[in-house]
A and B are shown apart, each in its own frame.
Chain A
Amino acid sequence: MKLQAKDIFDKLKSEFSDSIIEIKEDKGSDPFITVDAKKVLDICLFLRDTEELSFDYLSSLNGMDYKNNLGVVYNLFSTIHNHKITLKVILDKEQPSVPSIEGVWKSANWHEREAYDMFGIKFEGHPNLIRILSPYDWEGYPLRKDYKTPEYYHGFKVPY
């Protein structure tokens, strides 16, 4: 049965109570549920393994820079029930760390590496958290809003 975002929120709330922070359903925007970063692995396992939710497909995992904080956005989808939900966690900018969900959906492996590469978010428990798109010894996290392009890389001038 296809569930709406509100129903999914209620189900999560009854299971995890305080760890589910809020739901936002604005017009013209996808509804999303903000959750506690520490509990994200348990929540994802619950979302995948509960029969009426059955979120078996991780569409996308995006790193975010909210200027004062960092964040991770999970776009989940269920190929069985055809419903979707967006989860969001807010992380501290100094120590951005969140449990890895690589064990829940394998597709998270490369997405998390990309989020680490671009935003410097540490995914705890990730089997191979190294850079994926930039060179392995690149410094800094390019998609952060306060990123400054280094002038030189290995003695070569970086264009632009």
Chain B
Amino acid sequence: MSELRTIETEYSLLTDRLRVNVGPQHPSTHGVLRLEVVLDGEIVVDVIPHIGYLHRCFEKHAEAMTYPQVVPYVDRMDYISSMNNEWSYVMGVEKLMDIKVPERVEFIRVIMAELNRIANHQIAVATFGLDAGAFTPFLYFFRDREMILSIFEKTCGGRLLYNYFTVGGLNYDIYPTFVDDCLAVVKKVRETNAEVMELLIKNKIFIDRTANIGILPADVGINFGCSGPMLRGSGVPFDLRRVDNYSVYEKFDFEVCVGKGEVGSLGDCWDRNIVRMREMEESCKIIEQAVKNIPDGDVKAAIPKRVKPPVGEVYCRTETPKGELGYYIVSDGGLKPYRVKGRAPSFVNLSVLPEISKGYMFADLILILGSVDIVLGEVDR
């Protein structure tokens, strides 16, 4: 599939390569991404991504802020899954300062991160369906996502950007009916997913459209540094929740979902999508187990009012919905970080796009890009 498909004609055609710009202002590029596509007829010969349209100098800003002040900036990297972003950063600072956060905090963080993972995968599957021409699942998912957002809103006031996790704990405790709301979300998510499975994922038109395109072999994926559903879709069980066993994830029973090439080849667009669908179910399982056992106690560890880590450097990574999000934080012993580098999963996952989209039709390129699940806020930082 990866080599070019040539079209036989009885007469000789004068053909020329065509350069097409997709974006930066185009709905199917999921943000301000410009793809310079070299086309041979309708077949993609080369793709050159041009990024940086949303570059907001996060790393430079971070050097001018104190450690807790960076958290709202971190929110704005991957604005679809802000909770996961915050977690990675505050965990890095806690590692630098050698803080042990209370178990209650860990449980609430896990629940929030998993809720946000569901919300993110809902958007990912919804917009992927949209790219393929299915509009109805998009509306279903956005209706359900509202329930998750209202939990966040009741907890911390924010619907998109939360500023909820803080160094050493959480900014606010959960509200009284939190557990019931979470269980209601889990119930609803399962209902809708069963419906979308029938409506979209197992739909013959959708399978014809997404199977066998954008195949990412496992070794190529690892070499390109892909992570998250992108790599798991190729059959590699690489999930940092299990690999690194950070926080309290070892207490929960859940599976690492991998693609199996059920309807096409291993690692195609359909596989990446089904991994996201199944991960929602796994997140539901984690939430169910976690809400039952939230320990009592404080939501903040005893930390000094001024966050001032000792000299040192850590690379702290967590599994966000899109993959491995790592922060390389260097402290020189002052109140401000000396350097913060965000290793964004979307940035790395996007870099494999030229490799996996050569030789397919132009319309397939849009689907392949959709299956990578990028957020440009994170690609450009």
Question: Which residues of A come within 8 Å of B, CB atoms?
Answer: 26-30, 32, 56-60, 62, 64-65, 73, 75, 79, 82, 86, 105-107, 109-111, 118, 131-135, 142-143
A32, A56, A107 interface centre (most CB from chain B within 10 Å): A107
Instruction: Tell me the complex Cα distance, A109–B222, Å.
Output: 14
Which one of B20-28, B95-103, B122-130, B146-154 contacts A?
B95-103
Check A133 against B223 for contact (C-beta < 8 Å). no
Question: Which residues of B come within 8 Å of A, CB atoms?
Answer: 51-52, 55, 57, 59-60, 95-98, 220, 222-226, 236, 238, 243, 309-315, 317, 324, 326, 328, 330, 339, 341, 343, 347-348, 351-352, 355, 380-381
Instruction: Tell me the complex Cα distance, A29–B223, Å.
Output: 27
Check A62 against B341 for contact (C-beta < 8 Å). yes
Check B222 against A28 for contact (C-beta < 8 Å). no
Q: Please, which residue of chain B has its CB at the minimum distance from the CB of A64?
A: B339
A75 partner, pick from B60, B315, B355, B381, beta carbons under 8 A: B315
What are the 9 tightest A-B residue pairs by CB atom distance, in nearest-first order? A107-B225, A29-B312, A60-B343, A133-B52, A62-B341, A110-B351, A133-B55, A106-B224, A75-B315
A28 partner, pick from B57, B97, B317, beta carbons under 8 A: B97
With a CB–CB cut-off of 8 A, which chain A residues contact B59?
118, 143
With a CB–CB cut-off of 8 A, which chain B residues contact A65?
339
Instruction: Tell me the complex Cα distance, A142–B339, Å.
Output: 13
Check A56 against B52 for contact (C-beta < 8 Å). no
Given contacts A28-B312, A132-B52, is CB(A79)–CB(B326) below 8 Å? no
A143 partner, pick from B51, B60, B220, beta carbons under 8 A: B60
With a CB–CB cut-off of 8 A, which chain A residues contact B328?
60, 62, 73, 75
Q: Please, which residue of chain A has its CB at the minimum distance from the CB of B223?
A: A106
Q: List 5 A-B contacts (CB under 8 A).
A: A28-B309, A60-B343, A75-B343, A107-B224, A107-B351
| Chain A interface helix/strand/loop/mixed | loop
Check A59 against B326 for contact (C-beta < 8 Å). yes
A32, A59, A60, A64 interface centre (most CB from chain B within 10 Å): A60
Instruction: Tell me the complex Cα distance, A133–B53, Å.
Output: 8
Expressed in whole angstroms, the minimum distance between the Cβ of B40 and any Cβ of chain A is 22
Check A105 against B223 for contact (C-beta < 8 Å). yes
Given contacts A56-B222, A59-B225, is CB(A86)–CB(B315) below 8 Å? yes
Instruction: Tell me the complex Cα distance, A109–B347, Å.
Output: 11
Instruction: Tell me the complex Cα distance, A133–B220, Å.
Output: 24
With a CB–CB cut-off of 8 A, which chain A residues contact B222?
56-57, 79
Expressed in whole angstroms, the minimum distance between the Cβ of A82 and any Cβ of chain B is 6
Q: Please, which residue of chain A has its CB at the minimum distance from the CB of B56?
A: A133
A86, A106, A143 interface centre (most CB from chain B within 10 Å): A106
Expressed in whole angstroms, the minimum distance between the Cβ of A158 and any Cβ of chain B is 11
Instruction: Tell me the complex Cα distance, A56–B315, Å.
Output: 18
Instruction: Tell me the complex Cα distance, A109–B225, Å.
Output: 11
Given contacts A30-B314, A133-B381, is CB(A58)–CB(B238) below 8 Å? no
Q: Please, which residue of chain B has its CB at the minimum distance from the CB of A145?
A: B63
With a CB–CB cut-off of 8 A, which chain A residues contact B223?
56, 105-107
* Beyond known contacts A82-B243, A107-B224, A134-B52: 20 more, CB 8 A cutoff: A28-B98, A28-B309, A28-B312, A29-B96, A59-B315, A59-B324, A60-B326, A60-B341, A60-B343, A62-B339, A62-B343, A64-B339, A75-B343, A105-B225, A110-B348, A110-B351, A132-B51, A142-B60, A143-B60, A143-B339
Given contacts A79-B238, A106-B223, A133-B381, is CB(A59)–CB(B317) below 8 Å? yes
With a CB–CB cut-off of 8 A, which chain A residues contact B310?
28
With a CB–CB cut-off of 8 A, which chain B residues contact A82?
243
Instruction: Tell me the complex Cα distance, A132–B48, Å.
Output: 12
With a CB–CB cut-off of 8 A, which chain B residues contact A106?
220, 223-225, 351-352, 355
Given contacts A28-B310, A118-B59, is CB(A109)–CB(B52) below 8 Å? no
Given contacts A107-B224, A110-B348, is CB(A59)–CB(B380) below 8 Å? no
Check B351 against A109 for contact (C-beta < 8 Å). yes
With a CB–CB cut-off of 8 A, which chain B residues contact A58?
225
Expressed in whole angstroms, the minimum distance between the Cβ of A131 and any Cβ of chain B is 8
With a CB–CB cut-off of 8 A, which chain A residues contact B313?
29-30, 32
With a CB–CB cut-off of 8 A, which chain B residues contact A107?
223-226, 348, 351
Expressed in whole angstroms, the minimum distance between the Cβ of A83 and any Cβ of chain B is 11
Expressed in whole angstroms, the minimum distance between the Cβ of A107 and any Cβ of chain B is 3
Instruction: Tell me the complex Cα distance, A82–B351, Å.
Output: 24
Expressed in whole angstroms, the minimum distance between the Cβ of A128 and any Cβ of chain B is 9
Expressed in whole angstroms, the minimum distance between the Cβ of B76 and any Cβ of chain A is 15
With a CB–CB cut-off of 8 A, which chain B residues contact A30?
313-315
Instruction: Tell me the complex Cα distance, A64–B328, Å.
Output: 11
Instruction: Tell me the complex Cα distance, A30–B331, Å.
Output: 12
Q: Please, which residue of chain A has its CB at the minimum distance from the CB of B225?
A: A107
Instruction: Tell me the complex Cα distance, A75–B314, Å.
Output: 10
B51, B57, B315, B326 interface centre (most CB from chain A within 10 Å): B315
With a CB–CB cut-off of 8 A, which chain B residues contact A75?
315, 326, 328, 343
Expressed in whole angstroms, the minimum distance between the Cβ of B308 and any Cβ of chain A is 13
